[in-house]
């Protein structure tokens, strides 16, 4: 019986730790921005492309190649997204402000404050491709590998 009690306690602690570590945000626009940054950090560029709006200026393949070529990526954990606030909300668009933690660029770790435009499409909020291109420092040129 004591082993069963110990097992139950350990299981509950693991569940609590899992929920505490997950990145849940109350505002759906903030959650959309957070999820977008997670896809980018994890290098899941095809999924990132699919999650963005206003992406008809570049193909998925080209976007993925350009993103793989950038050295900048979102910082981890609580450094990733701070100071989020809604500036303007309309029925299908919202403008938000956030400070995004970045690493891998000049100065190694930095943050950048920026206004983002989100579009409500397919029942959810989506960050615009141009905002991700701007944050990443994407130049439009893929470096040739030797």
Q: Domain of 119: which CATH number?
A: 3.10.450.100
State mean pLDDT over 11-22: 50
Nearest to 81 by CA among 50, 111, 126: 111
Instruction: Give residue-wise pLDDT tens across range 27-54.
Output: 999 999 999 999 999 999 999 999 999 9
In a domain, 84, yes or no: yes
State mean pLDDT over 65-72: 94
Looking at residue 19, what is its pLDDT? 44
In a domain, 18, yes or no: no
Q: How far apart are CA 63 and CA 55, in angstroms?
A: 9
Average pLDDT, the chain: 85
In a domain, 55, yes or no: yes
HEC string of 6-65 equals: HHHHHHHHHHHHHHHHCCCCCCHHHHHHHHHHHHHHCCCHHHHHHHCECCCCCCHHHHHH
User: At residue 14, does pLDDT exceed 90?
Assistant: no
Q: How far apart are CA 122 and CA 136, in angstroms?
A: 25
Number of domains in the chain: 1
Instruction: Give residue-wise pLDDT tens across range 70-82.
Output: 999 999 998 999 9
pLDDT: which is higher, 11 or 63: 63
Looking at residue 106, what is its pLDDT? 63
In a domain, 108, yes or no: yes
State mean pLDDT over 91-111: 87
In a domain, 10, yes or no: no
Nearest to 44 by CA among 64, 24, 30: 64
121 neighbors 132 (Cβ within 8 angstroms):
no
In a domain, 19, yes or no: no
User: At residue 9, does pLDDT exceed 90?
Assistant: no
In a domain, 2, yes or no: no
Range of the domain at 53: 26-136
In a domain, 71, yes or no: yes
């Amino acid at each position: 019986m004591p082993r069963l009690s110990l097992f139950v306690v350990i299981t509950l602690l693991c569940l609590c730790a899992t929920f505490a570590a997950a990145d849940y945000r109350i505002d759906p626009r903030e959650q959309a921005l957070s999820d977008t940054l997670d896809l980018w950090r994890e290098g899941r560029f095809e999924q990132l492309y699919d999650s963005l709006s206003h992406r008809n200026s570049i193909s998925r393949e080209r976007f993925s190649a350009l993103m793989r070529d950038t050295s900048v990526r979102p910082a981890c954990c609580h450094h990733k997204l701070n100071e989020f606030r809604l500036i303007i909300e309309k029925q299908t668009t919202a403008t938000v402000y956030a400070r995004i933690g970045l690493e891998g660029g000049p100065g190694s770790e930095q943050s950048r404050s920026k206004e983002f435009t989100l579009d409500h499409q397919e029942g959810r909020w989506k960050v615009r491709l141009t905002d991700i291109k701007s944050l990443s420092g994407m130049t439009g040129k893929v470096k040739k590998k030797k």
